[in-house]
Amino acid sequence: MTVINQQPDVVRDIERVDADTVKDASRFAASILADVAGRRGTLCSRIAPLSPGMRIAGPAITVEVRPGDNLMIHAAMAIAKPGDVLVIDGKGDETCALMGEIMVSQCKAIGLAGIVIHGSVRDTEAIREIGFPVYAVGANPNGPTKLIPGRVNWPISVGGTAVNPGDLIVGDADGVVVVEKEKAASLLGAAAQKVVDETKRIAGIRSGEQLRPTWLDGALRKAGVLKEGETL
């Protein structure tokens, strides 16, 4: 009989995006990283920071829970390391909160970098006062159960985007972007160049020297809106 070595529901050891890449990536807006990553990898806009000034950058600890139950979030917190970001597939459920002031306080004390929940939280005023970055779909005063098993550090889907353990998570006022850990470092040069290009473009607009994109006519010709040689 063949014995199959099944991966445990809680995977303790994962490969994380390296700390230097996280530090460098934290300098960029989520929008910049999403653009250079192929205009993909962003979570749905319902997952938003509790306060616009909240920022996140770090490797993902992925958590899958049944709607309304936070048992596996506690398990993830028990094995997470400083700098990690909890990314929780709560199935978008809004019938109760999966986390509140107590758990967020614990995450801050552990030294985690932030929390992203496809679900609801509570104690939002207290969390804002704590100043710990939390992204969620909303708030609900109802508490969760702690009864149902799930998984930690398995691939999950959050807000329409695949997230693997150790992936780079960057969040700001616009939302959250996920970059595969294997390609994150390779995008930093392109991100830096995009910042330079966009800064130059904005300066041109403000000075009145470049009031429309240089690529516009070419794109319109390619789309068949303008004839060859024709301009706006």
Domain count, the chain: 1
Ligand-binding annotation for 41, yes or no, is no
Average the pLDDT over 114-140 and give the result.
98
Residue whose tokens read 């300066």? 203
211 inside domain: no
Assess whether pLDDT exceeds 90 at residue 6: no
At residue 2, the pLDDT reads 55
3-state SS, residue 228: coil
Per residue in 59-69, pLDDT (tens digit) is 999 999 999 99
Q: Is 228 annotated as belonging to a binding site?
A: no
80 within a domain of the structure (yes/no):
yes
**Position 137 in a domain:** yes
- How confident is the model over 23-33, as a mean pLDDT? 98
On whether residue 9 sits in a domain, the answer given is: no
Establish if 3 belongs to a structural domain. no
Query: What's the pLDDT score for residue 229?
Result: 85
What are the pLDDT digits (tens) for 183-202?
999 999 999 999 999 999 99
Q: Look up the pTM and report it.
A: 0.92
Report the CATH number at residue 39. 3.50.30.40
Any domain includes 89: yes
Could you report the per-residue pLDDT of 152-179, keeping only the tens digit for each? 999 999 999 999 999 999 999 999 999 9
DSSP assignment string, 172-199: ETTEEEEE-TTTTGGGHHHHHHHHHHHH
Consult the annotation and say whether 100 binds a ligand: yes
Q: What is the DSSP letter of 3?
A: P
Q: Does residue 231 have a pLDDT over 90?
A: no
The answer to whether residue 161 is domain-embedded is: yes
User: Residue 123 annotated as binding?
Assistant: yes
In a domain, 223, yes or no: no
**106: domain range?**
19-183
- For residue 102, say whether it is annotated as part of any ligand binding site: yes
